[in-house]
Structure 1
Amino acid sequence: MNQLPDEPTRCSWCGTDALYRKYHDEEWGKVVHDDETFFEFLVLESAQAGLSWITILRRRENYRKAFAGFDVQAVAAMQPPDAERLMQDAGIIRNRLKITTTITNAQNFIKVQQEFGSFDKYLYSFMPDGKPIINQPVSIPARTEISDAISKDMKKRGFKFFGTTICYAYMQATGMVNDHVVGCDFK
């Protein structure tokens, strides 16, 4: 737990950083069912691979500008000159593979939407009874059997930078799993 005097009790991972706390309090673990938000977090979580989440969270608005407001159709249509332009954008992580993967992941995201009717339906097909999981853990796991299965299937579909640990963080970010620890006021 991490709190200041007269502050609500929070999960310890968000520390005292105001942006991290806002994300924890208002977004993390909240159920999402719209594909736009699922795509936004796919972009952000994939960019986070190998980095801290706060690094990406601080660049979130830059990612929004760089990747067409997280419009999956616009990102999927990006071409090599767009990737070159993004390599010059100091507001995002300038990793060529992550940039080109974002474009490819957008194309794969659309294929999944076409096959399942929505990315939401695809993701929730892995969830028990098609519902979010509400945990009250003492400590938060880095992966689960469900994140293993989703990650494996997405890899088969051509998605990159989406291993099981990133997948589990994605599930937490979009409320597929609510892992606010025992005693957190935001569960």
Structure 2
Amino acid sequence: MRRIARRPARAVAGAVLTAATVGGLAAPAYAAAGGRLEVNPYSVQPGAQVTVNTTGCGKKASAAGDASAVGAGPFTLVPSAREGEAVGRFRVPESAQPGTYEIVAQCAEGDQEVRGDLVVTLMAAQGQVEPRGSMKTGVGGAQDRDPVKTAAGVAALAVAAAGGTWLLHRRARGDGI
């Protein structure tokens, strides 16, 4: 009896998994049919210029772009040398924060809308951006090389070490503190 009860549950779970898989595969196929906004380069630093293009706007190939999500505002996509392709450019503001932003373009013909993603990062092309300035930690550092302060710090550490050793020695002998 138990075995029979498990089989419908497995069948339902299999059907749900199959539906989710088919649904997941259907979404990209639909997006490809409607066109996509290609963002180049995909990942940029603040202040960089970005080029977008699409073949999803038909033969006239023009669109009104919107990069307000990243703070760049509206831009125009115009027909390129390739038939059926629209191209536009915008600059990512210096104030843009790291993250992923959706860039949208509304095609001039019909009500077709194409979308693409832009990633803003603080990573340099050759490596990580080096921090500038100093941190106030209250501990000092390489900037403060006063020999008197250094000697005072070493003396304080020596006194603390000697006092700790003396207390541990008295406790080990049983003299108490």
Q: Same fold (TM over 0.5)?
A: no
Question: Which structure is larger by alpha-carbon Rg, 1 or 2?
Answer: 2
| Bigger proportion of residues as strand | 2
Q: Of the two structures, which has the highest relative contact order with CA contacts closer than 8 Å and spacing of 6 or more?
A: 1
TM-score range, shorter chain: under 0.3
